[in-house]
Amino acid sequence: MKFDTPATTNPIDQLKVVGHPVDRIDGPRKTTGTAPYAYERHDVAPKAAYGYVVGAGIGKGRIASINLDEARRAPGVIDIITAQNAGKLAKAGRNTATLLGGPEIQHYHQAIALVIAQTFEQARAAAQLIRVRYDRQRGAYDLAQARDTAAKVANRPDSAVGDFAGAFAAAPVKLDATYSTPDQSHAMMEPHATVAAWQGDKLTVWTSNQMIDWARTDLAATLGIPRENVRVVSPFIGGGFGGKLFVRADALLAAIGARAVRRPVKVALTRPLMMNNTPHRPATIQHIRLGASLDGKLTAIGHDSWSGDLPGGKPENAIQQTRLLYAAPNRLSTLRLASLDLPEGNAMRAPGEAPGMMALEVAMDEMAEKLGMDPIAFRILNDTQVDPEKPGRPFSQRRLADCLRIGAERFGWQARSARPAARREGQWLVGLGVASAFRNNQVMKSAARVRVDGNGIVTVETDMTDIGTGSYTIIAQTAAEMMGVPLDRVLVRLGDSDFPVSAGSGGQWGGNCSTAGVYAACVKLRDAMAQKAGFAPQEAVFDSGQIRAGGRSVPLASVAAGAGEGGMVAEDVLEFGDLDKRFQQSTFGAHFVEAAVDAATGEIRVRRMLAVCAAGRILNPKSARSQVIGAMTMGVGAALMEELAVDKRVGFFVNHDLAGYEVPVHGDIPHQEVIFLDESDPASSPMKAKGVGELGISGVGAAVANAIYNATGVRVRDYPITLDKLIGKMPLVV
């Protein structure tokens, strides 16, 4: 099905099932421990051997020698895989570094060996007996030092509109400030893990991966085998946040190891390897310049961002929201990428917008203060309904101002003092902060297969994944709505490369696009079943397990049974046309935070939070709310505690476990509220939905920072905002 005109009335608009706060249908399995995650697939590999990954002990250089003799003699060891005996391997197109290093080492903890043994403990013990001698080379590990050598990015050109330099120089009110965000880890609960098994020349991996088709394609390319000889299975994933978008060392080494020992092999990365071996959110340095007239109208917006990655890597696109969020006739935005020898930088929840808005939305507050304006009024004054860099292209939906106004009323913004450090409750200084939320709405084609059997059961198959986001449930809701059956008559099967290729989970496109693919398959199946039942497809109504038209009804089950033992099946793909080119498709919101800071110690407590989201039709308010509050929590972590500390001498992340890398816990987040505006976007998809899971983090860090400033009068521009950055500048305790 081609989607190239805005959706009008269609069966999904009945909203009998879609749009309701349905409990997650996979919830019982997860809460009872019967949902099998990758490392737990004992059913498919009951006699699997265990692999333990050894990571490089240097940040850059070469392996001069590697001695495996003692490790090979250790109890239970079956084999040891290194680059010397792994066979010819290609570098998968979506990975910046090779997944098995040697002799060249590109980053710390790059995998250099896999020890395979009868038990995990034996493999781990033997791994400690491997002796490696390195020729260490001088590496670049400090973004601030490498900033001057950073270069333009070939496929990310600078954006210049009007005369930024002239307008900024002439502006009566100016802001010129630099902000920084640190390296951050995905820190998901489930590790990167894989069980691999071969049958002849065909490989099956049961793994934890967000994008099944990408994994299949890249694994085949890396191993140099036909794509059709690889099957990837990933029905349950314990969190990803972008860290599992691509094939990682666990999948590749499990596959190589299983081929070598001729039995299944299971591999899980330890937490330090997850931190240093797999992708992370790279640090940024951001320079923002704003110019405005005395009445608050922005006349110039400039945003320059620097980040680093391995040679051949990508920048953190921290400027992308600045090109779209506020109106100003004169604009300049640039990206610069430095070559660093740290582990790979790549996508983490809301890549670009999350760190970019941590700077931009603080700058907006700073500018509002210079102008003597309320920060909400300043943002609304500079709102726009067209792409500010392409004025002929309107937004398909843009309700940023509504989000800000509704949030202000609900949160009690009128009680905020414009004067910082004005509100005290005993030892606590209390402040309110706000930030806009923004994330682009991306679309990717997605396919599904839908079957109705003789019992009236609807089965949906697609390689879409559920990374804790509720994919099973919203896909079931879509099929139930379209085929006119109760939700408990729908069976959803996900995460298998034998199924039609979906959009996958990433970029907050998964929910909207995967359900659109299911919608397309259901439309095709509805037409076929209506015709078989003797109805004109355009007149047929599917409801309560029946097909009705012209005063006659036929049970869905009987129509399917009449087609034979397999029932009736249809497969289709939703291909998006050029609507995302004709309309700027984005999601919007507003974040509000109340923070309290101990006047004596600088201890920070987030007291309450509110997110107001405008993100098209919300397919399941319950699971969508869960996504937003999870994102809000991640935003608090980014603002106050999350930082991968770089040892700039040798090039690794020092705090590479959950003891040293701090993330928020329940006690840090006492109260969160989410409001979804009632809207639908017919230019987005037939579902009229958009993504929301990454919108929920974009802007949160800035809202926290702005609340802390309102509480204390101390402006911190270098995240995370820890008490040592406040304590010497706090108002005197009276």
Query: Which sign does the torsion angle of CA 249, 255, 257, 260 carry?
Result: negative
Residues 31 and 81 in one domain: no
What is the CATH classification number for the domain harbouring 631?
3.30.365.10
Q: Are 363 and 304 in contact (CB under 8 A)?
A: no
Residue pointed to by tokens 């509704």: 406
d(CA 499, CA 450): 11
Q: Which of 344, 361, 643, 694 is catalytic?
A: 694
For residue 163, the tally of other CB atoms under 10 A from its CB is 15
SS3 483: helix
Q: In this prediction, what percent of the chain has a pLDDT beyond 70?
A: 100
**Pairing state of beta strands 428-440 and 446-452?**
unpaired
Give the list of residues 6+ apart from residue 43 with CB closer than 8 angstroms, or none.
Answer: 36
DSSP state of 12: G
C-beta separation of 733 from 613 below 8 A: no
3-state secondary structure at position 194: strand
- Alpha-carbon 686 to chain mean position: 23
Say which amino acid occupies 550. G
Handedness of CA 462, 465, 466, 470 (dihedral sign): negative
Q: Which domain holds residue 92?
A: 38-138+188-277
- Examine the pLDDT at 156 and tell me if it is beyond 70: yes
- Beta bridge partners, 280, equal 345
What is the number of other CB atoms lying within 10 angstroms of the CB of residue 563?
16
pLDDT at 314 exceeding the cut of 70: yes
For residues 720 and 629, state if they share a domain.
yes
Tell whether 286 is covered by a domain.
Answer: no
Answer whether residue 263 is part of any domain.
Answer: yes
Mean pLDDT of 644-667: 96
Whether residue 288 is contained in a domain is answered as no
Q: At what angle do helices 471-483 and 510-532 cross, to 10 degrees?
A: 30
The DSSP bridge partners found for residue 425 are: 428
Chain segment 9-44, per-residue pLDDT in tens: 999 999 999 999 999 999 999 999 999 999 999 889
Chosen domain end from 213, 243, 277: 277
Mean pLDDT of 195-222: 98
76-120 tens-digit pLDDT: 999 999 999 999 999 888 999 999 999 999 999 999 999 999 999
The per-residue DSSP string of 326-381 comes to S--SEEEEEEEEEE--SSPB---SSTTHHHHHHHHHHHHHHHHHHHT--HHHHHHH
402 and 506 together in one domain? no
Inter-residue contact 387 to 320 (CB < 8 Å): no
pLDDT of 379-392, one tens digit each?
999 999 999 999 99
Local structure of 452: helix, strand or coil: strand
Whether residues 434 and 454 share a domain: the answer is no
The question of whether 694 is a catalytic residue gets the answer yes
Residue 59 covered by a domain: yes
Q: 3-class SS at 371?
A: helix
pLDDT digits (tens, 9 = 90+) for 496-506: 999 999 999 99
pLDDT of residue 323: 98
- Whether residue 384 is contained in a domain is answered as no
Its sign, for the CA torsion 390, 393, 397, 402, is positive
Residues 638 and 541 in one domain: no
d(CA 653, CA 503): 33
Q: Are residues 576 and 592 located together in one domain of the fold?
A: no
The answer as to whether 380 is a domain residue is: no
Q: How many domains does the chain have?
A: 3
d(CA 618, CA 479): 16
What pLDDT sits at residue 104?
98
Residue 493 within any structural domain of the chain = yes
What sign for the dihedral angle of Cα 252, 74, 276, 186?
positive
> pLDDT digits over 568-587, tens only?
999 999 999 999 999 999 99
> Could you tell me if 16 and 59 lie in one domain?
no
pLDDT given for residue 731 in this prediction: 84
**pLDDT given at position 93:** 84
Contact 709, 434 (CB under 8 A): no
H/E segment holding residue 635: helix 621-640
720 upstream amide cis, omega within 30 of 0: yes
CB 507 within 8 A of CB 352: no
Q: Are the C-beta atoms of residues 675 and 625 closer than 8 Å to each other?
A: no
State both tokens at 2: 């081609």
The whole-chain average pLDDT of the chain stands at 97
What are the tokens at 645?
A: 């500390």
The per-residue pLDDT for range 228-238, each reduced to its tens digit, is: 999 999 999 99
- Residue 103: is the preceding peptide bond cis (ω within 30°)? yes
734 pLDDT more than 70: no
Note whether 633 and 566 are same-domain residues: no
Q: Are residues 640 and 698 in the same domain?
A: yes
Final residue of a structural domain among 251, 277, 303: 277
Asked which of 580, 595, 629 is the last residue of a domain, the reply is 580
| Residue 544 zone, left/alpha/beta (φ > 0; ψ -120 to 50; rest) | left
Shared domain for 8 and 76, answered yes or no, is no
Average pLDDT (441-457) is 98
The total number of residues written for the chain in this structure: 734
Q: What is the mean pLDDT of residues 480-489?
A: 98
**102 and 217 both lie in a single domain:** yes
Judge if pTM exceeds 0.75.
Answer: yes
CB 495 within 8 A of CB 235: yes
Residue 278, pLDDT > 70, answer yes
Give the pLDDT mean for 649-659.
96
Q: Evaluate whether residue 322 is within a structural domain.
A: no
Are residues 551 and 423 part of one domain? no
Q: Sign (positive/negative) of CA torsion 246, 250, 252, 258?
A: negative
Is residue 459 within 8 Å of residue 493, measured between CB atoms? yes
**Residue 288 CB contacts under 8 Å (≥ 6 apart), including other chains:** 175, 176, 177, 178, 179, 302, 303, 304, 322, 359, 360, 363
Residue 289 confidence (pLDDT): 99
Over residues 534-573, the pLDDT tens digits come to 999 999 999 999 999 999 999 999 999 999 999 999 999 9
Q: Per-residue pLDDT for 718 more than 70?
A: yes
Position 733 scores a pLDDT of: 62
The per-type count for the chain, helices as H runs and strands as E runs, is 17, 30
- Check: CB of residue 583 under 8 Å from CB of residue 683: yes
